[in-house]
Structure 1
Amino acid sequence: MQAERQTLPGVLRAAAKEYATREAIVDGDLSLTYGELHEQVRRTAAALIGLGLGKDDRVCLWAPNSWRWEVLALAVTYAGGTLVPVNTRYTGPEAVDMVARTRAKVVAVADGFLGRRQYDELAAAAEAEDHELPNVLLLPYDASTAGGEGIVPWEGLDWSAAAVDEATVERRADEVTPDDVADILFTSGTSGRSKGARSAHRQVVSVAAAWRECGQVTAADRYLVVNPFFHSFGYKCGIVVGLLAGATVAPQAVFDVTETFRLVEKERISVLPGAPAIHQAMLESPERKKHDLSSLRLAVTGAATVPVALVERMQSEMGFDTVLTAYGLTEAVVATMCRPGDEDTRVANTCGRAAAGLEVRIAKPGGNEPPPADEEGEILLRGENVMLDYLDDPEATAEAIDEDGWLHTGDVGRLDQDGYLRITDRLKDVFIVGGFNVYPAEVEQALARLDGVLESAVVGVPDHRLGEVGHAFVVRRVGADLDEDAVLAHARERLANFKVPRGVTFVDDLPRNPSGKVLKRELRSS
């Protein structure tokens, strides 16, 4: 692949040239062709440079799926910067932590999303942490935050862009190399502290190309992206796949089953990936039969157990020609994926075989040696698309990637004779709520700050709609007057909503093994 096609600016330029008049984005009443998208990105990149964004500087983007998210994300890399997507469900303190740790030069905020006042949350958290915010770019949503020093409304970007000529912008794009860092996506670890996985441009393009190939996505496709852009599934396997294929991307800010049906019918959507909970909700909705879904052809799902019956119903009742499952993680994005033509039972019971040039092997936990025949072991990945490292954390990087280049995922599974992967457990106790990873240690640390909590253990429990949800087992301090409502209210103040446990059980003590480790398997079965 030519070097310029291994960078996001190069991919955008190629798409604008090859698909200039084709629709790139449709979002409500707004539609942009690939030529218009390129022009919007260039103007926004000029504005970012005008705001002081230098090469390799970072921009935090705290906003829901929209055409502006795509334009701004591509503009960051076009200007030679590094994108830092921030989860829209994060609280102000969580967002400020991302801004501080990445030393971002700009933070873009969609103020008013989900009825919140994100800018006020951000400013209050920054003041509490004695952290000075960089320039804040306000993306319009429902709120009308007043302007002020360091606050730039989206409509004011033209003023910033006017100070930077086109030649400067194009020179910045020319200077981006395949090995430059394109983005930093944060993922939590078992210690409870999030880690920023850094990926190069060549890796972003390569994994998107592999996903596109497996899904056989073309310029004729219209792709509804329900998966959040702040997640690699929505960003790299959504936006970037669209650019590579010349497909039309239709972003949806929040999953609403009725609105999803309306968009599929109106926009003639053909590609609709999502967590199993999304497809289950569509199948169960009484609204489904009121809409024409005949344009659907491809679904890609995963991140939770997928019953064979779900795959069969997606094909027979929603009309998908192809349903694929996949396994990925922030540190490698697309690790394995099924292929068109795979049997339904294989699609449902496995996560596919190696993709994106990765090697997959099973090893004894904590090492590289294979487990005994026919036994499961830790899933290891190796290849060019494994992340560069964790931001400013060489110890965590060395722990995750061994001297031979194998990424230790912490997931447990087995490979069949054809190389198809089946995940059977998680070493790190992570559970998945509607497609979002939740790391118990982070939740437990938040609960530990509540007066009256002696200790806690959080586990994932089955949920019909979301696949799994959290449940907290809490040991109260002697004499503490603490009830479930107080625990959940405390969690909601400090954690994104998908991380908040749905229930609390008070116990006298937590079950432990002889070494003192909490036996979470016993809690799950209790």
Structure 2
Amino acid sequence: MFEQLSYDLKGAAKGAKAFVDTGFLKGSNLASGLGVAKALGRYGTSLAGLLEGSAARFPSRLALVDDDGELTYQELAKYSRLTAHTLASHGITSDSRVGIMARNGRGFLFPLAAKGYLGYTVFLLNVGASKNQIAEIVREHKLDVIFYDSEFDDRFPEDLSDFGATLVHADAAEGHRTDIDYPTIEDFWANPGDHDNAFPGRPNQGGVILMSSGTSGTPKAVQHTEPSFPVGVLGPVLKGLGVKAGDRLQLTASLFHVLGWGAAVLAITAGCTLVTQRVFKPDVVLKQVQDYKCTGMLSSAVFLKDVLAVDDGSYDLSTMTWILNAGNAMSEDLVRGLQERYGNILSSGYGSTEGLLVAYATPEDLTEDPLTAGHRVWNGRLELLDPETGKPVAPGEVGIIHAHNAMSMKGYLGNRDKPDYRDGMLDLGDKGVIDPQTGRLRVLGRNNDMIIVGGENIWPTSVSDIIDRVDGVAESYCVGVEDDEKFQRVKAYVVTDGSADLSEDDIRTHVRENFMAPAVPRDVVLMDQPLPRNPIGKVVKRELEAFG
């Protein structure tokens, strides 16, 4: 306990220094400083409090660039307040629940920031959620209002009489439904209700609920509180990236997910500019970096791979000094490709919806070991436990990754799902190993993903990494399937790019010659279309069956 306390205190001190070194605290005069103090005193570290503070310091600075244009900090605060006033006039209070199902842009940020003015609990809904999942979320968690993009109109019932939630289009495209409560957010603003629209003096802040996958098919509601400057957790990232106040950040990561939400909070705290787009297009990402002179890019492996593929060297990316990957593990080829193209500026964060950030790999870490997840953050615990005994395993041995720090979830909302804790740490569901020489973590895959072939432990990601190196292969994904002789064997879904003639045996031969015999796929499915992925880039396993 004393050792952990000492570690945490040192981590907090290092994190505070990393925070100050960014210049986040610079740029204030007496008047703006008082504005920041007033905002934080009233709204705390909610997005509203952070936004009002930055608007007081940098009213004319660009806060957001999206598909609809540009917004300054003053404008972003104005429309967020307008959204909150209108919600209050419709009876929304700190006891209410508001959902957001929108792609990146102002339609997402307005209701997210409005939360802090009123204190309601906000649900960040996955844009990949099905019609049944949305209905179940509304029923189980009793959502009062949902802001959603009109492209998801077909996810909501045709007969809304008993749906139980007021619907507002956060983004209304051509042909949007007009039978919902407020076909556009402008309609919502123009039609206040009959309740008082004043903000409470110091609203009690509800949680920020992130939706994680559930074994029953219904997403788990993961509870997080408003951020409280966990400098010991974020310190390694701030130092590793060299983020500076006022930077312009290209954000590909979805705002409804961990990285996107966290990036928005940090960016607004620091008076940075978020440059984003609703639907990912790799050429648009590169053009945004060039045109807005972005210093950093926040993305994930599946998107970075596409960015690298379309970058023909014609874009001026000289201002970009860092790239942060999160959400998906990177293959060694992708890491080396990004390093070769952009220099030694790539880093990666590892965590989960429940645990948020628990480890960070610096550019130097990835240079030495492209597959590493890096070291644990400067505060909190991260240990690999034996699944049978619950005791820590020795360095070099495989264990289940458990972690806890200031950014860990507060629990699941409701009584349906229960978190799995051991010794005060959350089970992240991944197997990993700590390098005994460097102390770095390597994530081997999901705990239930390991394939045991004739007594040999095979990690699907290891096989995919080998297959991805075959000429003519765009990407691959491996799973375990039952086998009469070996109990389990590897099945590989392989996406070809058309640049070479490939057969199933070509894939098997490559794995046999470059890895090990037990890892050779029994089944190889050659595909001419991309792997099915959800909006944050993770492969949707159940949809693979349609390919064979």
CA contact (8 A) 1:49 1:79 kept: yes
Mapped pair 1:412 → 2:431: yes
**Structure 2-normalised TM-score?**
0.71
Residues 1:275 and 1:395: Cα distance change in structure 2 (over 3 Å): closer
Mapped pair 1:216 → 2:239: no
- Amino acid corresponding to residue 216 of structure 1 in structure 2: G
Residues 1:214 and 1:59: Cα distance change in structure 2 (over 3 Å): farther
- The Cα of 1:210 is off from its aligned counterpart by 6.5
- Amino acid corresponding to residue 85 of structure 1 in structure 2: L
- Amino acid corresponding to residue 301 of structure 1 in structure 2: N
Mapped pair 1:371 → 2:371: no
CA contact (8 A) 2:88 2:196 kept: no
- What is residue 423 of structure 1 aligned with on the other side? 443
- The Cα of 1:408 is off from its aligned counterpart by 0.9
Name the CA distance, whole Å, in 2 between partners of 1:458 and 1:6: 48
- The Cα of 1:258 is off from its aligned counterpart by 1.9
Mapping 1:260-299, distance limit 5 Å: 260-285=285-310, 288-299=312-323
- What is residue 80 of structure 1 aligned with on the other side? 119
Name the CA distance, whole Å, in 2 between partners of 1:354 and 1:464: 37
Identity across matched positions, percent: 22
Mapping 1:35-434, distance limit 5 Å: 35-112=74-151, 118-124=152-158, 132-148=163-179, 150-151=181-182, 153-160=184-191, 168-169=198-199, 171=200, 174-176=202-204, 180-202=205-227, 211-236=237-262, 238-285=263-310, 288-317=312-341, 319=342, 322-339=345-362, 341-342=364-365, 344-346=367-369, 348-355=370-377, 357-365=379-387, 367-372=389-394, 374-393=396-415, 396-397=418-419, 400-402=420-422, 404-417=423-436, 418-429=438-449
State the superposition RMSD in angstroms: 3.6
Name the CA distance, whole Å, in 2 between partners of 1:131 and 1:209: 47
Question: How many aligned positions are there?
Answer: 439
- What is residue 444 of structure 1 aligned with on the other side? none
- Amino acid corresponding to residue 167 of structure 2 in structure 1: V
- Amino acid corresponding to residue 17 of structure 1 in structure 2: A
Residues 1:144 and 1:458: Cα distance change in structure 2 (over 3 Å): farther
SS at match of 2:296: coil
- The Cα of 1:88 is off from its aligned counterpart by 1.5
Q: Deviations over 1:400-446 (max 9, x none)?
A: 124x321011111022344421111311439999xxxx9x9xxxxxx
Mapping 1:433-452, distance limit 5 Å: none
SS at match of 1:250: strand
CA contact (8 A) 1:89 1:497 kept: no
Name the CA distance, whole Å, in 2 between partners of 1:352 and 1:395: 30
- What is residue 502 of structure 1 aligned with on the other side? 544
CA contact (8 A) 2:167 2:181 kept: yes
SS at match of 2:250: strand
- What is residue 11 of structure 2 aligned with on the other side? none
Residues 1:163 and 1:372: Cα distance change in structure 2 (over 3 Å): same
Q: Deviations over 1:26-76 (max 9, x none)?
A: 124522222222222111111111222121321111111112211221112
Q: Deviations over 1:238-289 (max 9, x none)?
A: 211211221100121111122222222222222112222222222222x532
Residues 1:223 and 1:200: Cα distance change in structure 2 (over 3 Å): same
Residues 1:89 and 1:183: Cα distance change in structure 2 (over 3 Å): same
CA contact (8 A) 2:91 2:195 kept: no
- The Cα of 1:458 is off from its aligned counterpart by 12
Residues 1:99 and 1:209: Cα distance change in structure 2 (over 3 Å): farther
- The Cα of 1:356 is off from its aligned counterpart by 6.4
Residues 1:370 and 1:208: Cα distance change in structure 2 (over 3 Å): closer
Larger deviation: 332-341 or 300-309?
A: 300-309
SS at match of 1:123: coil
Unaligned 5+ runs, structure 2 = 1-15, 17-36, 451-459, 465-476, 480-488, 498-524, 526-531
Name the CA distance, whole Å, in 2 between partners of 1:459 and 1:54: 51
Unaligned 5+ runs, structure 1 = 113-117, 441-456, 466-483, 485-490, 507-526
- The Cα of 1:222 is off from its aligned counterpart by 1.2
SS at match of 1:21: coil
Name the CA distance, whole Å, in 2 between partners of 1:86 and 1:273: 20
SS at match of 2:324: strand
SS at match of 2:59: coil
